[in-house]
Amino acid sequence: MFHWLARQRYLMDYTLAAMWRRKWRNLVLLVVFTLVVFLLASVSFFGSAVRFEAKRALKFAPEVMVQNLVLGRHALAPADWVDKLKGIRGTRNVRGRLWGYFYDQGNGANYTVMVADGSDPSLAVAPDEVIVGAGVARVREVEKLRNLLLLRPDGKLFKLRAKRILSDDSALLTHDLVLLSEADFREFFNLPRDAGFTDIALEVRNRREVATIANKISQRLPNARVVTREDILRTYENVFSWREGVLQAMLAASLAAFAIFAFDKASGLSAEERREIGILKALGWDTSDILAMKLWEGALLALFAFLIGAVAAYAHVFLFQAGVLAPVLKGWAVLYPQAPLTPQIDRLQLVTLAMLTIVPFIAATLVPVWKAAITDPEVVMR
C-alpha cells in the first residue's frame, strides 16, 4: 500500500510538471470545461431552488380549491356553494376566498390581491390596512406604517396603511402579494357582497380521500373545476420542468460540442506527447504507469474545472439571482425575478452532472493514451 501511494506521488509529481509544460492548452480546456459545468449547474441549482420554493409555499395552500366555470372560463363562485360543499361528508374548513390580479400601470407590475383567510392571526388585516409582499414594497417604495396608494380599476384612488411587509422567506408566492380586508377588497374591485367568491377552498379530513372528495364535488357541482394541491404542484413542476428541459436540451448540445472538443484537445495526442509516452515506456514505465499519469492529469483538470464551475454556478444563482438564466427559466412574472432564492442543491443532479462531464472527459483522455501506451516503445529508436 505504501509503495502504491509512493508510486502515485511520483506519477502525480510528473503529471503536474507535464500539465505546467502544456499550460496554455490546459488553460483553454479548463475554461471551456468550467463554462459548460457553470451553465449546466446553474440550471440545476436554479431548478432545485424554485421547486423547493414551490413545495414550501404550497405546503400552506388549501388541499382542494373549487372554481366556477362559465363558458369554460373562471368566474366568481356563487356564495351558496360554500354551504353545498359543507354538506359533503369528509370536507372541513370550507371557506370562500377572494383574490384577483391587479396591474399597476405606474410600475408595469402585476400584483396578486387577496383577502387574508384568517387562519393565521399574523396575516389578519383590518379595514384600511394592507400587508404587502417584499417585491411590492420594493417597487412601490412602501415601508411599514406608511400609506400605499393604489389606483382602482375604475380610476379612483385607494389609500391603505401598510401594516406589515412580508419577508423574502417564501418569496415565490408572496413577493407580489397584496393582502386586504374583505371589505376593502370588495370596494377596491367594486364587487357586491352577494357576488360570491373568486373560489372556494376546503380541507379533507382523510388525506387519502382527496380524489374521492374531488369526484363528489364534481358530481354535485357540474360547473365547478376542482383543483387539488397536488394538481398545482404537478402543473407547476411540469411547466418549470419544461422550461428547464428546453434549456438543458440546448446545453446538452453544448455538452456534446465540449465532448468533441475535449476528445480532440485532451486526447488528440500531439507528436510530442506520443514521443514522450514512447520515451517513458523505453525508460521502463509500465503501460499502467502511463495510464495512471494521464488519469491523474484528466482527473485533476476535470475536478478542478467542475469545482470552479459548480461554485461559480452557486454564486451566480444564489448570490447574483441567476442573472444569465432567470429570464429564460422564470417566464413572464414581473416582480418575481427579483425574488431571492433559498440555496437548495439537488445532490443527485449534481452527482449526475459530475458523471456526465468528468467521466466522459477522463475517458476521452484515456482511450487514445491507452492506444499510444500499448505500442512498442521501439518507436523512440526510429
Partner 1 sequence: MIEVENVSRVYNEGRPNEVRALNDVTLRIPDHAVTVLKGPSGSGKTTLLSLIGCLARPTSGRILLDGEIISALPEHFMAKMRRERFGFVFQRFHLIRGLSVVDNVMLPAYPAAPDYRELRERAMAALRRLRLEHRAGMKVELLSGGETQRVAIARALINDPEWVLADEPTANLDSALVEQLLEEIRMLKADGKSLVITTHDPRIIDSDVVDVVAEMRDGKITSVTEVER
Pairing relationship of beta strands 147-151 and 157-165 according to DSSP bridges: antiparallel
- If the CB atoms of residues 176 and 297 are measured against partner 1, the closer one turns out to be 297
Mode of pairing for the β-strands spanning 199-204 and 64-70: antiparallel
Does 289 participate in binding partner 1 (rule CB under 8 A)? yes
Q: Is 7 in the site for partner 1 (CB under 8 A)?
A: yes
Q: With binding defined as CB under 8 A, does residue 296 bind partner 1?
A: no
What's the half-sphere exposure (Cβ side, CA atoms, 13 Å) at 240? Answer: 21
Position 21 contacts partner 1 (CB under 8 A): yes
Gyration radius (Cα) of the chain, Å: 30
Strand partners, 178: 113, 132
The whole-angstrom separation of Cα 274 and Cα 12 is: 19
Among 10, 60, 103, 242, binds partner 1 (CB under 8 A): 10
Near partner 1 by CB under 8 A: residue from 164, 265, 275, 330: 275
Cβ atoms of 368 and 267 within 8 Å: the answer is: yes
Measured between alpha carbons, how far is 76 from 155 in angstroms, rounded to an integer?
Answer: 22
DSSP three-state, residue 146: coil
Q: Considering the rule CB under 8 A, would residue 371 count as an interface residue with partner 1? A: no
Choosing from 287, 321, 338, 342, the residue that interacts with partner 1 (CB under 8 A) is 287
Q: Which is nearer to partner 1, 192 or 284 (CB)?
A: 284
Cell numbers 505500442: residue: 375
Smaller CB separation from partner 1, 155 or 284: 284
- Does the protein bind partner 1 through residue 24 (CB under 8 A)? no
Is there binding between residue 6 and partner 1 (CB under 8 A)? yes
Q: How far is the CB of 4 from partner 1 (least distance, A)?
A: 8
Q: Does 273 bind partner 1 (CB under 8 A)?
A: no
Tell which one of 83, 145, 283, 347 touches partner 1 (CB under 8 A). 283
Residue with Cβ nearer partner 1 (11 or 50) = 11
Q: What is the total count of residues that contact partner 1 (CB under 8 A)?
A: 30
Run of H or E residues at 282: helix 271-282
Helices (H), the chain: 2-21, 23-58, 81-86, 134-140, 171-174, 182-188, 210-220, 229-262, 271-282, 287-314, 326-330, 347-373
Residues that bind partner 1 (CB under 8 A): 3, 6-7, 9-11, 14, 17, 20-21, 275-276, 279-289, 374, 376-378, 380-382
